[in-house]
């Protein structure tokens, strides 16, 4: 069996955390491919190394003396090396990095050094081979990931080694310039490596024991999710669930490789399994609840709208012309409502209203602000009657007014719109009716 294991920043923040990671990797011979993040926070109020690198490079870019900031970054790594009792020295690496900061090689280069240096330490600590991600993970000129070139090069290089460390978060452009994924992109690197070696499992180790049904900041100690499908995860991630980078599922999904979210600080916990499909029934009708605040709705009314060909296209063209993406577009016979991010819309609202009037000639347009969208997701809803009715009943009992409800044809999720002020109350009501009532 082949296992790819990725460890997040909190798992590698100190020598003590490194030892936990070492124990996890050595516990199973199958854990042959390791993807480390940069050191995270050691304690509340601490600073992540990636943020320290951004700050240091900004000072270099602005012509300020950055030696003090640079020294603090080096101290973080020296502390880990010393704590692990390694004879490794990163002095030569830091000398190169300092020179490249002076040459201003770019913010992407600066940020990537956190993972690069941690990868060198991890390889030395485990006795694994080290492969610089810039030499095996590639981006196209437009900045998008070059899947075909990466698969060919990475697969061939990994085949030369039995056990390997590949730092996460970055790769290179065609001219060799270092390019990073978006923040949290080490998850993506792990997924790419898993795809390249045709792994049996991609283990993603972090500081929580998998996904929770709901945000613990809203519901204290919520129930965990044992198994979730790629599609369910995609819906929840889009609405704010952030344990795993949402783009990390795509490479492994093509190969049908399951992801196992695990807790470095509680390795005995089985965590959450993310799979393509499963015959296992969820303990609850729903798999998860997630949501976001900060939306507004633009309600458009026009008599006989349903008989007018191209009405929807005209309306949405106005949003496109103003560079505004829409979230949901529920409609009725003579009404059409467009939900958008309020911060994207506010400065352009009157241009949009004017544009809709000119193109679509509606009877009225009404705007409502300060709305929240909540996604109730679950493969179990498809085979269960009355799910929407139970949601309405729970929200009515909690005195929450529903502004919108939208269910996709897949019956995998139901989106509910409420006022921002009712967001937490709505989530608690839904959790109570589907989860607490079953405990």
Distance CA 144, CA 100 (A): 24
Whether 31 and 124 share a structural domain: yes
How many helices (H) and strands (E) would you count in the chain?
14, 16
Closest-CA residue to 326 (of 295, 348, 302): 295
Closest-CA residue to 40 (of 217, 183, 239): 183
Number of domains in the chain: 2
In a domain, 282, yes or no: no
Rg (CA), the chain: 25
**Which residue's entry shows tokens 């330490």?**
121
Direct distance between the N- and C-terminal alpha carbons of the chain, in angstroms, rounded to an integer: 37
**Which residue's entry shows tokens 């976001």?**
292
- The whole-number pLDDT of residue 281 equals 76
- The whole-number pLDDT of residue 174 equals 97
- Domain end among 240, 275, 310: 275
Whether 305 and 269 share a structural domain: no
Whether 96 and 126 share a structural domain: yes
- The whole-number pLDDT of residue 282 equals 77
In a domain, 241, yes or no: yes
In a domain, 45, yes or no: yes
- The whole-number pLDDT of residue 384 equals 81
- The whole-number pLDDT of residue 92 equals 97
- The whole-number pLDDT of residue 166 equals 98
Whether 131 and 203 share a structural domain: yes
CATH code at 113? 3.40.1160.10
- The whole-number pLDDT of residue 410 equals 65
Phi, psi angles (nearest 5°) of residue 177: -65, 135
Residue pLDDT tens, the chain, 439 long: 999 999 999 999 999 999 999 999 999 999 999 999 999 999 999 999 999 999 999 999 999 999 999 999 999 999 999 999 999 999 999 999 999 999 999 999 999 999 999 999 999 999 999 999 999 999 999 999 999 999 999 999 999 999 999 999 999 999 999 999 998 889 999 999 999 999 999 999 999 999 999 999 999 999 999 999 988 988 888 777 777 887 888 899 989 999 999 999 999 999 999 999 888 777 899 999 999 999 999 999 999 998 899 999 999 999 999 999 999 898 889 999 999 999 999 999 999 999 999 999 999 999 999 999 999 999 888 778 888 889 999 999 999 999 988 876 667 889 999 999 999 999 999 999 999 987 6
Distance CA 12, CA 8 (A): 7
- Domain end among 242, 275, 308: 275
Whether 83 and 128 share a structural domain: yes
Whether 243 and 310 share a structural domain: no
In a domain, 362, yes or no: yes
Whether 173 and 199 share a structural domain: yes
In a domain, 54, yes or no: yes
- The whole-number pLDDT of residue 409 equals 63
- The whole-number pLDDT of residue 60 equals 96
Contact 397, 422 (CB under 8 A): no
Whether 263 and 314 share a structural domain: no
Residue 117 is part of which domain span?
3-275
Contact 377, 232 (CB under 8 A): yes
Whether 307 and 226 share a structural domain: no
Q: Give the number of other CB atoms < 10 A from CB of residue 414.
A: 20
Residue 298 neighbours by CB under 8 Å, 6+ apart: 337, 338, 340, 345, 352, 353, 356, 365, 366, 367
Q: What predicted TM-score, i.e. pTM, was given to this entire model?
A: 0.87
- Domain end among 275, 304, 320: 275
In a domain, 283, yes or no: no
Contact 156, 164 (CB under 8 A): no
CATH code at 297? 3.30.2130.10
- The whole-number pLDDT of residue 439 equals 65
Whether 167 and 301 share a structural domain: no
In a domain, 280, yes or no: no
Distance CA 377, CA 17 (A): 34
Torsion over CA: 182, 210, 36, 19 (sign): positive
In a domain, 281, yes or no: no
Region for 427 from its dihedrals, namely left if φ exceeds 0, alpha if ψ lies in -120 to 50, beta otherwise: alpha
Residue 34 neighbours by CB under 8 Å, 6+ apart: 4, 5, 6, 7, 25, 122, 126, 128, 163, 164, 165, 166
Integer angstrom CA distances of residue 335 from 131, 331, 354: 57, 6, 18
Which runs of consecutive H residues, i.e. helices, occur in 179-226?
Answer: 186-196
Whether 251 and 360 share a structural domain: no
Whether 255 and 304 share a structural domain: no
């Amino acid at each position: 069996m082949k296992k790819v294991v990725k460890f997040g920043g909190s798992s590698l923040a100190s020598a003590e955390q490194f030892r936990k990671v070492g124990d996890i990797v050595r516990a199973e011979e199958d854990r042959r491919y390791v993807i480390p993040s940069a050191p995270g926070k050691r304690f509340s109020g601490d600073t992540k190394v990636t943020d320290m690198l951004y700050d240091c490079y900004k000072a270099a870019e602005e012509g300020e003396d950055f030696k003090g900031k640079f020294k603090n970054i080096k101290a973080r790594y020296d502390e880990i090396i010393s704590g692990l009792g390694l004879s490794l020295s990163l002095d030569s690496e830091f000398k190169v990095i300092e020179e490249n900061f002076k040459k201003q090689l770019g913010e992407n280069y600066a940020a990537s050094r956190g993972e690069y240096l941690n990868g060198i330490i991890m390889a030395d600590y485990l006795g694994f081979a080290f492969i610089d991600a810039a030499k095996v993970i590639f981006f196209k000129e437009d900045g998008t990931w070059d899947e075909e070139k990466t698969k060919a090069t990475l697969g061939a290089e990994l085949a030369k080694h039995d056990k390997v460390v590949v730092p996460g978060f970055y790769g290179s452009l065609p001219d060799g310039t270092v390019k990073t994924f978006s923040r949290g992109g080490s998850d993506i690197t792990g997924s790419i490596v898993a795809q390249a070696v045709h792994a049996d499992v991609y283990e993603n180790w972090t500081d929580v024991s998998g996904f929770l049904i709901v945000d613990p900041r809203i519901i204290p100690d919520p129930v965990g999710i044992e198994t979730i499908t790629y599609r369910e995860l995609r819906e929840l991630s889009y609405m704010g669930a952030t344990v795993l980078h949402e783009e990390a599922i795509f490479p492994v999904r093509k190969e049908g490789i399951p992801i196992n979210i695990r807790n470095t600080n509680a390795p005995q916990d089985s965590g959450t399994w993310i799979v393509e499909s499963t015959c296992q029934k969820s303990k609850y009708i729903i798999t998860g609840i997630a949501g976001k605040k900060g939306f507004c709705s633009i309600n458009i009314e026009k008599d006989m709208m349903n008989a007018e060909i191209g009405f929807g296209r005209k309306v949405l063209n106005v949003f496109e012309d103003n560079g505004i993406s829409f979230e949901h577009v529920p409609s009725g016979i003579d009404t059409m409502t467009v939900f958008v991010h309020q911060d994207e819309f506010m400065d352009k609202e009157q241009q949009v209203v004017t544009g809709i009037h000119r193109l679509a000639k509606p009877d009225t347009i009404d705007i409502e602000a300060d709305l929240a969208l909540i996604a109730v997701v679950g493969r179990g809803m498809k085979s269960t009657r009355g799910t929407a009715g139970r949601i309405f009943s729970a929200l009515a009992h909690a005195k929450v007014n529903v502004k919108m409800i939208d269910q996709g044809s897949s019956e995998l999720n139901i989106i509910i719109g409420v006022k921002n002020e009712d967001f937490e109350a709505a989530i608690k009501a839904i959790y109570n009716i589907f989860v607490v009532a079953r405990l």
